[in-house]
């Protein structure tokens, strides 16, 4: 027993309110998602009787339409394509920015200032940052005005806005920060003597990058990748706003179901999305032990 002088609260009690929030608003809700995905429903309400209807409906046509792809597979493939494109772009851009900040900016004050400059836009609403592309990319937008007056095109380019292009562009615009921050953090922790040792041993700049800096930045790269990939996987807002509500995605399927108040199929799709997300994280976890690096 602790002596009477030690009257500190036990840790479990101190963490209790915090834990309660996650029990009530995260763990329990996920349990309900799993349960409701096996419920039945009609036009007005969900019916608590067991059925696999929501799943069979979700995967309808997946066997009969072979070798063609059913809707849900097409949607997931298209989402995966966006994941890959956005991941590649944010990784290259994010790594370059982080590398510049960590190894080419010389004073800590300057590093932090420039890092903050990258952070500030993160404090404004994503929707605002999305609609900000309208005056630039729209049919009468700045880009089209420029292209027309330069005589490069003779009628406005239509694929700039409400297209796959604008969705990918918005993702890169919104979420490159999630790559920059962890990679920058990992790079700042690299022992500078390793760089000097490589330099003294005659490594070229490129060799230094591929043999020293990239391997040591791997934890940051993995964390950034998890953020970006899971965001794109579950997104429905960027796809909606920038795709003109025309492009399907794994997250948007759920939203569509919800707008029709079909909760069990929405829950089944949510289970599917969760499964896909965990597969991706497990794959990334094989590359680097994330828990150790946090």
Partner 1 sequence: MNSERRPPAFYFLAAFFALFVAFLYGPTFVIFVLSFQGPTGGLTFPMNGVSLHWFERLWRGGGIVDISGAFKRSLGLGLIVMLLTMALSLMAGLAFRKRFRGANVLFFVTIASLIVPSIVTSLGIALEFRIFDDLVKNHGPTWLANGFQTSMGNFTSGLGAHLTWTLPFGLLVMFAIFNRFDPRYEEAARDLGATPWQTLRHVIIPIVAPSLIGVGLFGFTLSWDEIARSSQTMGEHNTLPMELQALTTTVTNPDIYALGTATTGVSFAVIALALGFIAILGRRQARHGSDAGKA
Q: Map the footprint of partner 1 across residues 179-208, applying CB under 8 A.
A: 205
Angle at 100 between CA 94 and CA 216, to 5 degrees: 70
Secondary-structure percent of the chain, ordered helix, strand, coil, rounded to 5 = 70, 5, 25
- Between CA 157 and CA 152 the distance in angstroms is 10
133 binds partner 1 (CB under 8 A): yes
Q: Which of 77, 84, 110, 127 contacts partner 1 by CB under 8 A?
A: 127
The footprint of partner 1 on residues 242-261 (CB under 8 A) is: 245, 251, 254-255, 258
| Chain centroid, CA 59 distance in Å | 25
Which residue among 83, 89, 161, 241 contacts partner 1 (CB under 8 A)? 241
Q: Is position 126 an interface residue for partner 1 (rule: CB under 8 A)?
A: yes
CA dihedral 59, 61, 62, 63 (to 10 degrees): 130
d(CA 222, CA 235): 20
Q: Which 8-state DSSP code applies to residue 244?
A: T
Report which of 242, 280, 82, 61 is spatially closest to residue 166, judged by C-alpha positions: 242
Residues near partner 1 (CB under 8 A), total:
85
- Within 71-110, the residues that bind partner 1 by CB under 8 A are 93, 96-97, 99-101, 104, 106
Q: Is 10 in the site for partner 1 (CB under 8 A)?
A: yes
Choices 16-24, 53-61, 65-73, 186-194 (CB under 8 A): range interacting with partner 1: 16-24
Taking the least distance from each CB to partner 1, the nearer of 43 and 67 is 43
Interface stretch with partner 1, choices 51-59, 62-70, 71-79, 224-232 (CB under 8 A)? 224-232
């Amino acid at each position: 027993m602790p002596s009477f002088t030690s009257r500190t609260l036990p840790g479990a009690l101190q963490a209790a309110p915090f834990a309660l929030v996650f029990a009530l608003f995260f763990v329990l809700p996920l349990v309900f998602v799993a349960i409701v995905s096996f419920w039945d429903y009609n036009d007005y309400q969900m019916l608590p009787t067991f059925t696999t209807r929501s799943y069979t409906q979700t995967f309808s046509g997946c066997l009969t339409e072979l070798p063609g792809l059913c809707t849900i597979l097409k949607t997931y493939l298209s989402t995966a394509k966006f994941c890959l494109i956005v991941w590649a772009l944010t990784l290259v851009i994010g790594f370059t920015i982080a590398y510049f900040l960590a190894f080419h900016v010389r004073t800590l004050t300057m590093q932090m200032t420039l890092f903050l400059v990258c952070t500030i836009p993160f404090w404004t609403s994503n929707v605002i940052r999305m609609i900000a592309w309208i005056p630039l990319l729209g049919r009468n937008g700045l880009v089209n005005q420029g292209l027309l007056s330069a005589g490069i095109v003779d009628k406005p380019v239509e694929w700039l806005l409400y297209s796959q292009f604008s969705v990918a562009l918005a993702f890169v615009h919104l979420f490159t920060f999630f790559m920059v921050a962890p990679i920058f953090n990992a790079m700042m922790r690299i022992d500078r003597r390793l760089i000097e040792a490589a330099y003294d041993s005659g490594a070229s700049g490129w060799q230094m990058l591929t043999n020293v800096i990239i391997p040591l930045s791997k934890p940051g790269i993995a964390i950034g990748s998890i953020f970006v990939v899971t965001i794109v996987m579950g997104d429905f807002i960027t796809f909606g706003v920038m795709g003109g509500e025309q492009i399907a995605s794994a997250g948007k399927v759920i939203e569509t179901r919800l707008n029709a108040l079909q909760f069990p199929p929405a829950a089944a799709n949510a289970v599917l999305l969760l499964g896909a997300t965990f597969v991706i994280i497990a794959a990334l976890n094989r590359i680097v032990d994330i828990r150790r690096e946090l």
